[in-house]
């Protein structure tokens, strides 16, 4: 059986089509991404009509693609861009009416847990701190012996941090300093794990983009998934310089995140300094795969 999953995020909207295998696992068949920048359509805490139309246009386009493959059901979930607004119900109803698509709006806790369950379909991670830096929010949770504890979310992501502080494409020294100070102050008030652990596990576009840059800069194999905290600090400091080396690597490895990778690195740095002692593991799977396994494939299991 094939499943079409759409992840409606603050920065990007991604369609993934998976084939469920007889052994209970799955295989990715197709992926399509649209950079939407939905944070830019939120004003005074409300999603604008233009933003809702943007969502409908993208989802309608995805439905057309799926129709070419004979797939009629599209499962759509939304994270921060529809969760952290005042007109969530209105936006969901409008999308349902205009695009004939139901949107499942995940809570921050649910997003964190599904992200973890997706991550562990690719990596072994039963103890430590998990994180997911999105465009409009960041999720964290602690894991002890495979049991999840203290899952939570705070409404700061790479895209809204960029929107709040950056006047150009690259942050100035002052803007970088302001981002760092703002984030450290804000995190004092958020419900994140209190204790550091030997390992962290990250998912999401920011973490994956940082890893691509790190593997190239540190001359590690492209399939490497682990960074020491020393590796992380070295690459972070290089990016913060915003020199030709940094710009070239960003444009080569994550051109669609040219404006958000440095703000995302600021968030990642704050998490690593607080919560990680030794190494950072980055999983290629995340919320979409967790949603697939826990919400879609499980309902068809007898």
Q: What is the predicted pLDDT for the residue at 300?
A: 64
Q: Is the pLDDT of residue 108 over 50?
A: yes
pLDDT at 302 over 50: no
The structure's pTM equals: 0.92
Q: Bigger pLDDT: 131 or 196?
A: 131
- Please give the share of the chain, as a percent, with pLDDT higher than 70: 99
d(CA 42, CA 86): 10
pLDDT score, position 184 = 87
Tell me, yes or no, if the two domains 2-105 and 117-282 fold the same way. Answer: yes
The domains of the chain are located at 2-105, 117-282
Q: Which fold has domain 2-105?
A: Nucleotidyltransferase; domain 5 (3.30.420)
pLDDT at position 188: 84
Model confidence at 91: pLDDT above 90 = yes
Q: For 16-38, what is each residue's pLDDT tens digit?
A: 999 999 888 999 999 999 989 89
Give me the pLDDT at residue 301, please. 53
> Given a cut of 90, is residue 186 above it in pLDDT?
no
Higher local confidence (pLDDT), 80 or 188: 80
Q: Give residue-wise pLDDT tens across range 50-79.
A: 999 999 999 999 999 999 999 999 999 999
Average of per-residue pLDDT values in the chain: 94
% of the chain exceeding 90 in pLDDT: 89
pLDDT above 70 (res 142)? yes
Bridge partners of 47, per DSSP, are: 42
Q: Which CATH superfamily is domain 117-282 in?
A: Exopolyphosphatase. Domain 2 (3.30.420.150)
| Of 140, 147, 136, 154, nearest in space to 260 by CA | 136
């Amino acid at each position: 059986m094939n499943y079409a999953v759409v992840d409606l995020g603050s920065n990007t909207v991604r369609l993934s089509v998976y084939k469920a295998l007889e052994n209970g696992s799955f295989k990715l068949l197709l992926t399509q991404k649209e950079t939407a920048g939905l944070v830019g359509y939120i004003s005074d805490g409300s999603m604008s009509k233009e933003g809702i139309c943007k969502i409908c246009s993208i989802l309608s386009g995805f439905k057309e693609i799926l129709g070419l493959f004979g797939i009629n059901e599209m499962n759509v979930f939304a994270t921060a861009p529809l969760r952290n607004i005042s007109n969530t119900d209105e936006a969901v109803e409008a999308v349902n009416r205009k695009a004939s698509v139901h949107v499942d709006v995940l809570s921050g806790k649910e997003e964190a847990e599904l992200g973890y369950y997706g991550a562990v379909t690719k990596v072994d991670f039963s103890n430590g701190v998990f994180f997911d830096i999105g465009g409009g929010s960041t999720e964290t949770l602690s894991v002890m012996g495979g049991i999840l504890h203290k899952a939570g979310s705070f409404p700061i992501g790479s895209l809204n941090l960029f929107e709040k502080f950056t006047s150009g494409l690259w942050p100035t020294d002052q803007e970088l300093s302001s981002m760092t100070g703002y984030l450290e102050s804000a995190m004092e008030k958020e419900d994140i794990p209190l204790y550091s652990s030997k390992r962290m596990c990250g998912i999401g576009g920011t973490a994956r983009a940082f890893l691509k840059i790190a593997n190239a800069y540190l001359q590690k194999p492209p399939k490497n998934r682990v960074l020491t905290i020393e590796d992380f600090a070295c690459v972070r400091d290089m990016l913060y310089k915003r020199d030709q080396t940094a710009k070239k690597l960003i444009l080569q490895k994550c051109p669609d995140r040219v404006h958000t990778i440095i703000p995302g690195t600021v968030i990642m740095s704050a998490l690593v300094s607080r919560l990680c002692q030794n190494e950072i593991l980055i999983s290629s799977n995340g919320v979409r795969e967790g949603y697939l396994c826990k919400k879609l494939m499980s309902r068809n299991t007898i």
